[in-house]
Chains A and B, each alone.
Chain A
Amino acid sequence: MMENKLDGNAAAGNLEEIFPFEMTLAQATCAGCGAHDVIGAAGAYMHGMGTIIRCNRCDAALIRVAHIRGHYLLDMRGVSVLQMKEG
């Protein structure tokens, strides 16, 4: 399937189903290369199986999220720290 690279802006709705925070300004530290940036600036690939958010510097998968039959599946191996701002 053709994957269209978008950015974390487009994926924020999916993340905000799970996290009660504004997620485009959440800071993710890449477990692979140590880069940290806001989710809004990261790459995002969205397709039928779910959404993958990728590090802008090394392209490693930071977050994989899927919503299947009433369950959320969240794979966050690629993030060492996820920092979200209250309010």
Chain B
Amino acid sequence: MERRTLLGRLSWQLGEVVATRPETARTKSITLDLPGWRGHRAGQHVDVRLTAEDGYRAERSYSIASPPEEAPRVTLTVERLDDGEVSPYLTEELRVGDKLELRGPIGGYFVWEAEMGGPLLLVAGGSGIVPLMAMLRHRAAAESTVATRLLYSSRSLEEVIYRDELDRLVKRSAMLAVAQTLTRAQPPGWTGYSRRIDLQMLREVAWPVAQRPLTFVCGPTPFVETAAAILVELGHEPARIKTERFGPTGEKHDGE
């Protein structure tokens, strides 16, 4: 896999939107063609920059949802925040053929590659599934058999991102298990969990401590802090628990 050997400062590049796909009522996947893309690793993100006609700029970080194997195409999955400056444009205005300015890939900490092994524990809250999906897609593309468990918390079934694809991935790999919890509304006959993540749930889903799982937790800040604290309480090594807090990054004014 291509890596940044001599990094150089990050620079902005233009990608062309080649596909968009609604995932849920509030999230959309945007696939970009990036001719100058140097490749990425599952878990990394990009910064997206929008510039208004008057020069006002807003910048946000978005996780890459697609696996490295699809480069130089890169897919982002963006959740619309109603009071956001960037996500309403990305989810509602952006069309195939439009250009988008971004820089990346960024990050080497919250990254999983098949050769890092496992067992792997992925814990997602809401749109925190996005970088973890890149890991699952990479795992499938690399034909990895690393034993993997995903615990995914959503408010309702309608808000589960990548629902069908997760089902397909589970059918395809005997070494992958997905546990879901729906915290606000459950459909009739729901057999998954129906509450916020807690110690009992993580005790059931997380690997035994002795197996020393490699853990990635991504979601809103309170979700991530709760999950990480419980895992440590259960006896998992803090150094093997990597977290990524998800949330709107503040606006950035550039007066240039």
Question: In the bound complex, do residue A20 and residue B61 qualify as a contact, i.e. CB atoms below 8 Å apart?
Answer: no
A67 and B244 contact, CB distance less than 8 A: no
Q: How far is the CB of A61 from chain B (nearest CB, A)?
A: 16
C-alpha spacing A46/B256, complex, angstroms: 20
Q: Is the CB of B109 within 8 A of A16?
A: no
> Smallest CB-CB separation from B10: which chain A residue?
A16
Whether A6 contacts B245 by the Cβ 8 Å rule is yes
The answer to whether A9 and B110 have CB atoms under 8 Å apart is: yes
* Inter-chain contact A4/B248, CB cutoff 8 Å: yes
Q: A16-B10, A70-B256 are in contact. Are A40 and B247 (CB under 8 A)?
A: no
Knowing A41-B109, A87-B5 touch, does A10 contact B249 (C-beta < 8 A)?
A: yes
Residues 222-256 of B contacting A (Cβ, < 8 Å)? 242-256
Give the residues from 131 to 150 in chain B that come closer than 8 angstroms, CB to CB, to chain A: none
Counting CB contacts under 8 A, is B52 at the interface?
no
Contact A6 B256 (CB under 8 A): no
B contact residues, total (Cβ < 8 Å): 34
Q: Size class of A's contact patch?
A: 20 to 34
Say yes or no: A22 contacts B108, CB within 8 Å: yes
CA distance A41 to B242 in the complex (A): 8
Question: Of B9, B109, B248, B252, which contacts A9 at CB under 8 A?
Answer: B109
Is the C-beta of B23 less than 8 angstroms from some C-beta in chain A?
A: no
B221 A48 Cβ-Cβ under 8 A: no
What are the residues of chain B within 8 A of A4 when measuring CB–CB?
221, 247-250
Bound-complex Cα distance A87 to B253 (A): 31
Query: CB within 8 Å of A: which residues of B?
Result: 4-10, 45, 47, 59, 61, 103-104, 106-110, 221, 242-256
Other A-B pairs, 9, CB within 8 Å; known A17-B9, A68-B255: A3-B250, A5-B245, A9-B61, A12-B106, A13-B59, A16-B106, A46-B249, A47-B251, A87-B7
Closest 7 CB pairs of A and B: A40-B109, A47-B250, A24-B109, A13-B47, A16-B10, A22-B108, A4-B247
